[in-house]
Amino acid sequence: MSDNIQNKIGMVIVAHPDDAEFGCAGSVTKWIREGWEFYYVICSDGSGGGSDDARKVGEAERREISEIRKKEQREACRVVGVKEVFFLDYPDGRIEPNLDLRRDIVRMLRRFQPARVVIQSPERNWTPNYPVARHHPDHLATGEAAIRAIYPASQNPWDFPELLEEGLEPHKVKEIFFMGAPTQNFMVDITETIENKMEALKAHASQLPDFASIEERIRGWATSTGKKYEVSYAEEFHRTEN
């Protein structure tokens, strides 16, 4: 990993509230302790995570669960130490990697100029028994929009010239970390931050009512990943330099 980065600003771009906690909260906590400043960008409004009872799916219920999930995400960010979280408010369950979303992500990249960005993989992982959640269309669409925003749009003045009128100059991201990619090439030892990851996940009470079983599963994944690198707990990414 590049050790000569002077601009220690990072950004996590995901589809839903709680996606970052599942995928990278241990790593982000560690990086913040090392002096990084992190921002979260949540692309959806979180309105698709309510009751499984179809009779309770209405606009009022969607607004209510959206506000609950945003509150939970803010609390999770407090636990991790994230400086600020932004919600782009695209309809949950209907995210597409279109120009509007790409422009909104570019706007965030140019505004905060992160050197390190963590995103969801735009590709499915067909490894046996891989979590079905990693095939969620919102996750894939957000990953696709994010990588298109990072390259070339964020660094290319010819893309979205209207952002120049907003005073947002082109910005080149240095490092990209993909969560849930088909191939992994980078590990972060989260042994000292695993409890922060769990506490941040626990903040999403509306989505994780049976937290004990979720905690057991997440610890199992982190332990299994850690064994590959001879550490107690780890998160794994595909990392590339831009």
Each residue's pLDDT tens digit, 104-133: 999 999 999 999 999 999 998 887 655 555
pLDDT above 70 for 54: no
Average pLDDT, the chain: 93
pLDDT-based confidence at residue 11 (cuts at 50, 70, 90): very high
Distance CA(100)–CA(120), nearest Å, equals 18
Residue 140, amino acid: L
Q: What is the pLDDT of residue 167?
A: 98
Residues facing 41 on adjacent strands: 13, 86
CATH number listed for the domain at residues 9-241: 3.40.50.10320
Residue 90: Cβ within 10 Å count: 23
pLDDT-based confidence at residue 55 (cuts at 50, 70, 90): low
Dihedral angle computed from the Cα positions of residues 102, 104, 109 and 112, in that order, rounded to the nearest 10 degrees:
180
Least confident of 40-44, 51-55, 174-178, 226-230: 51-55
Residue 150 φ/ψ region, left for φ over 0, alpha for ψ in the -120 to 50 degree band, beta for the rest: alpha
Each residue's pLDDT tens digit, 179-233: 999 999 999 999 999 999 999 999 999 999 999 999 999 999 999 999 999 999 9
pLDDT-based confidence at residue 60 (cuts at 50, 70, 90): confident
pLDDT above 90 for 51: no
Q: What is the pLDDT of residue 133?
A: 55
Least confident of 2-6, 112-116, 136-140, 181-185: 2-6
Instruction: Show me where the domains of the chain are located.
Output: 9-241
Distance CA(211)–CA(59), nearest Å, equals 28
End-to-end Cα separation, the chain, in angstroms? 12
- The 3-state secondary structure of the chain reads CCCCCCCCEEEEEECCCCHHHHHHHHHHHHHHHCCCEEEEEEEECCCCCCCCCHHHCCHHHHHHHHHHHHHHHHHHHHHHCCCEEEEEEECCCCCCCCHHHHHHHHHHHHHHCCCEEEEECCCCCCCCCCCHHHHCHHHHHHHHHHHHHHCCHHHCCCCCHHHHHCCCCCCCCCEEEEECCCCCCEEEECCCCHHHHHHHHHCCCCCCCCHHHHHHHHHHHHHHHHHHHCCCCEEEEEEEEC
Residue 39 and residue 10 in contact, taking contact as beta carbons nearer than 8 Å: yes
Dihedral angle computed from the Cα positions of residues 106, 133, 80 and 68, in that order, rounded to the nearest 10 degrees:
90
